[in-house]
Structure formats: C-alpha cells, structure tokens
Amino acid sequence: MTQKLEFNQARDLDQALIDSDVGSMGADRLIGRWTNTDAQTRGLREITIKQTGAQFSVSAAGAGTDGAIQWLARSVRPLANVEEEAGQRGIALAADFDFGFMKAETYLRVNKGVLVIVLFNSFRDDSGRSDYVTREFFYRRD
Amino acid sequence: MEFAQICDSVEPVAISRRPVDVAGLPGVWINSNPQTNGIARIVISEADGGLSLQVYAIGPDGLIDWGVRQVQVYSSTPSSRTGAGFSCRFDFGFAESFLQGMIMKGLLVLAELRTFKDASNRADYFVREYFSLEHQRF
C-alpha cells in the first residue's frame, strides 16, 4: 500500500526522513559536557547533553554574579539535521528553558566539532528589556 | 531585576521604552542556495507597528505560498532597540514549522524546526539556510 504524503515544501518528501530513527542519527556527536570557548562569557559557561533511550536532556550553567546559575531544559526535541553536506547527517536539538520571568527557545547543533547554541530569549516581566538573540560556541570537555 | 545569565542583566538607566527599530528586517530575502528544496523566498513587511512574514517554498510545480504570519522581533542585547532577529510559527495541520532568524553580516540566517503531526512516521527535522536581501543596487 502506498501512502500519499502531505507536504508544502519539497524537502518534506526527502526519502531519508521516512521511517528514520532520529535518536540514532549520530547523537553521540552532541552527547557530553561542553565548555564555552569564551572564558569571559556573560552567558552560558557550560552545557551538558545526555541521552537516555530516545530521551534527551540539556542542562547548562549560566554565568552569575555569585557562581553559576543552573539551567534545565523543560523540553528537548531531537530533529534530523538535514543541513549537512555530503550526506553526513546528524541531529540537532530544540531545547526550551522557562524561568518564569524569561523563556529561552534554543537550538543546538555540532558544526566541525564545535557545539553551537542559538538562544532566542523573551522577557515576560515588566522590566522593559528587549527580547534578544545570542549565539555561543562550546568545545567538548568530556 | 531577575536574570539567568549575567548578559540578561541591564542597568535600569540603559532601558529605553521606545519601540524596537526594525528597519533592517523588511524586504525580500532570497535563499543563497539555488538548489534548495525548502524555503526559497521570504518577504518581511512592516504592518500595524509590527512585522509580518510571508514564506514561499519550493514545490513540484513552482513556489508554494505558506501565507502571512506575524513575527516576534529580537534585538542583539536586552538594552538594544534595534531588531536583529525574529521568530515565527506556521501550523499547517499535518506539520508545523518554527522559524528562527537572525541577521549576521547582512545575511539572514534562518533555522527551520519542522515537526510532523500526521501519521506519516517522517522524522522531524532541522535545517539552517542563508538568505540575502534583494537590494537592486548593483
């Protein structure tokens, strides 16, 4: 039996997406403990990514005035990363953090051995701060 | 003022209540990859004090119009009032696309987080592509 797939961009029909197990697509490139390449960062100092079965967790240490501030993602979704060239596909993660006064919608990927996180930070308090986007780079610690 | 990383923190005197300047975002943005099989063109427009975005994606018989959505604008720091990125969500029923864009060196770097909601058993996917602004100066 053939199934007609709905789509609204040609990429949706990529054969590699069909019956794929995202969790097994090179997740080991992401798993581990990562340290910010910028020793003076005012953002995230460290990120830890773990996998248990099909589940991923992302935690981080934010730079604080009196030590690190713990970040723990409320939700983490693995996504097949189809941007890689030469058929070298891996995964990216979408991770959402919620602090009440602020939320951070992020994505993480590994590019040439460097973990890249892009954070879209939205303030929900009345502080008047602008929502802002940042990008940081991490090297593998272990 | 609460913060989760020092860079969230802003001196109150540095906070402006004026609207975010979005002048760098509107226009027609074209995918730098002529072989893309995803989003080909994005049109960003100012409307009602906000920004709207229209997407055209590659289809088998030409471009597919995804329609128009409002976007959330982001600056580059919490004290900046200059738009440097956006996010936007499209829900098509069978699938959902969450778009996150940021301007870097004049390029729009667009991440698409695509989630399938049908029973097709396709893998959700991530793709990041580059778009340049049609400026018609050269």
Count of structural domains, chain B: 1
Res B15: pLDDT: 85
Within 10 A of A135 (CB to CB), how many other CB atoms are there? Answer: 14
Per-residue model confidence as pLDDT tens digits over B64-100: 999 999 999 999 999 999 999 999 999 999 999 999 9
Residue B121 zone, left/alpha/beta (φ > 0; ψ -120 to 50; rest): left
- Rounded to a whole number of angstroms, the distance from the CA of B89 to the nearest CA of chain A is 13
- Rounded to a whole number of angstroms, the distance from the CA of B78 to the nearest CA of chain A is 4
Q: Where are the domains of chain A?
A: 39-140
Using an 8 Å Cβ cutoff, are A115 and A34 in contact? Answer: yes
Q: Which residue has the higher pLDDT, A31 or B137?
A: A31
B16 domain-assigned? no
**pLDDT, mean of residues A60-79:** 96
CATH number for the domain that contains residue B92: 2.40.128.30
Is the torsion defined by CA of B115, B121, B127, B131 positive or negative?
Answer: negative
Question: Percent of chain A at pLDDT above 70?
Answer: 92
Residue A58 has pLDDT above 90, yes or no: yes
- Rounded to a whole number of angstroms, the distance from the CA of A112 to the nearest CA of chain B is 15
pTM score > 0.90 for this model?
Answer: yes
A19 near B CB under 8 A: yes
A66 near B CB under 8 A: no
How far is the C-alpha of A102 from the C-alpha of A62, rounded, in Å?
14
Q: Which domain holds residue B98?
A: 22-133
Residues of B in contact with A16 (CB under 8 A): 123
Nearest to B123 among A20, A63, A129 (CB): A20
**pLDDT, mean of residues B122-134:** 95
Residue A50 has pLDDT above 60, yes or no: yes
Using an 8 Å Cβ cutoff, are A63 and A43 in contact? Answer: yes
Residue A86 has pLDDT above 60, yes or no: no
How far is the C-alpha of A37 from the C-alpha of A35, rounded, in Å?
6
Decide if A102 and B8 are in contact by the 8 Å CB cutoff. Answer: yes
Res A85: pLDDT: 55
**pLDDT, mean of residues B32-55:** 94
Using an 8 Å Cβ cutoff, are B25 and A133 in contact? Answer: no
Residue A21 zone, left/alpha/beta (φ > 0; ψ -120 to 50; rest): beta
- Tokens representing residue A110 in the block: 């590994």
